[in-house]
Chains A and B, each alone.
Chain A
Amino acid sequence: MTRLKSDVRHPIHVSLNGEPVAGEAEPRTLLSDFLRHQLGATGTHVGCEHGVCGACTVVVDGMLTRSCLTLAAQVDGCEIKTVEGLAPAADRLGVLQQAFRRHHALQCGFCTAGILMSLDHYLARNPAPIEAEIRDLLSGHLCRCTGYTPIIQAALEAAAQLASSKKETSDA
């Protein structure tokens, strides 16, 4: 049993996109603020702070997670994946990110980090999604710019591409 006092900052250790990192948090510190202000990972955006918009979505121990509805204290010792972890290298985009660019699946980009995290997580587990499933997943996100259609097209194209690239490696 661990009890953290309200008015004190406590050390929090996590794995962020595979790297061990640490910062300090009061019990009331939200994971979204911990990521942005303590760890400098500002790719995760904050829109509504009550779980509705999805901009802050990250992955914690394999679970899609609203970082605005999660305390930093809750994730001590956990593995966290954020949008910073999606690109294979600093100057290259991943398959899903490239598809977003080709299809104009973002305009202002405010919602994009959260949507990418949901899609990346979903496609890894459901390699052959149909459009209705992508729409169901996107119901957990608000985008005020794109009208969603380009996002759906990008997701389906990325899924197909990821599936065929897997086929090639296994055939080789």
Chain B
Amino acid sequence: MKPPAFDYLRAETVGDVLDGLAQHGGDARVLAGGQSLMAMLNMRLAKPKLLIDIMRIRELRKIERTADAVVIGAGVRQADLLAWPDLAEALPLVALALPCVGHMQTRSRGTICGSLAHADPSAEMPLALVALGGEVLLRSARRRRRVAAKDFFAGMMLTARSDDELIEGISLPVINGSNFAFREVARRHGDFAIVACAATKTPSGVRLAVGGVADVPTARDWPRLEGSALDDALNAFAYELGARDDVHATARYRRDLVRMIGRDLIGEVLR
């Protein structure tokens, strides 16, 4: 199908975007890589009156490394981050998860921040943000604010972003001396995950974050658990995520994946 009619605004500065969003609010949509938004427009699941294209704004194209974090601007495409030479060293979890986001042909245009704004429950970048405890940098004509990962995702394709806010970037902490593991199960490579899991070693034990099961990616911290104590904790977590049956998989299968992948990954990072 074809998209409904809308005005198109090619922004040259962040100011252009903020003015457009302040004026039109919910009737306007930011257009980043278009890899989710354009499909929704073609299927007429969204009918905005105005699209604000942010991809020609140079200042949003930056990947910046500070002392203990990496800040990724809204104009950074998934392929740009994959090609960033410091990725594996600074953000090993992202280096593991990002190749699973769609295909080479969609990563070439899709952005990191667009994936977070879209907030698909099985998307990999929201999972990585939650697993690492990153922050989303929001900006409107009125104010700037930082929202922690766990407060950003509000439900299936719902976030704490208000209609007049641009996600200017995200900040992901550089965590030294830890171990990371990631695995997902999808029907085909590049499809959205049925279940995706990320594990990190923490000072007191381990964190497991799970995507594709609850409405939002969800993380849980445990002390070092082993044997049946770990099995019980994983089983309880799998049930708390409230898995549902859908066309892709049954709730039972999803719980099985959480238990099995969770156990494997925790073993890997604590080894």
Closest to A68 in B: B42
CA–CA, A51 to B104, complex, Å? 12
| Complex partner residue of B2 from A30, A69, A70, CB under 8 angstroms | A30
- Total contacting residues, chain B, CB less than 8 A: 38
Q: Is A165 an interface residue (CB 8 A)?
A: no
Q: Is B179 an interface residue (CB 8 A)?
A: no
Whether B190 and A140, one on each chain, are in contact in the complex, defined by CB atoms closer than 8 angstroms, is yes
The interface stretch among A16-24, A59-67, A152-160 is: A59-67
Whether B35 and A51, one on each chain, are in contact in the complex, defined by CB atoms closer than 8 angstroms, is yes
Whether B104 and A136, one on each chain, are in contact in the complex, defined by CB atoms closer than 8 angstroms, is yes
- Total contacting residues, chain A, CB less than 8 A: 34
Contacts of B6 in A (CB 8 A): 6, 27-28
Closest to A114 in B: B105
| Complex partner residue of A139 from B1, B11, B34, B190, CB under 8 angstroms | B190
Contacts of B16 in A (CB 8 A): 1
Contacts of A33 in B (CB 8 A): 2
Q: Type the 1/0 row for A1-43, where 1 means its CB is closer than 8 Å to any CB of B.
A: 1111111000000000000000000111010010000000000
CA–CA, A140 to B171, complex, Å? 29
Q: Which of B1-39 touch A at CB < 8 Å?
A: 1-13, 16, 31, 34-35, 38-39
Closest to A71 in B: B8
Q: Is A111 an interface residue (CB 8 A)?
A: no
> For the complex, would chain A's binding face be called helix, strand, loop or mixed by DSSP majority?
mixed
| Complex partner residue of B39 from A26, A50, A74, A139, CB under 8 angstroms | A50
Contacts of B118 in A (CB 8 A): none
User: In whole Å, how far is B17's beta carbon from the nearest beta carbon of chain A?
Assistant: 10
A65-B109 contact given A27-B51, A74-B53, CB 8 Å threshold: yes
CA–CA, A57 to B51, complex, Å? 23
6 sampled A-B residue pairs with Cβ under 8 A = A3-B8, A5-B7, A30-B42, A57-B105, A71-B38, A140-B102
Interface residues of B (CB under 8 A from A): 1-13, 16, 31, 34-35, 38-39, 41-43, 49, 51, 53, 55, 77, 79, 102-106, 108-109, 188-190
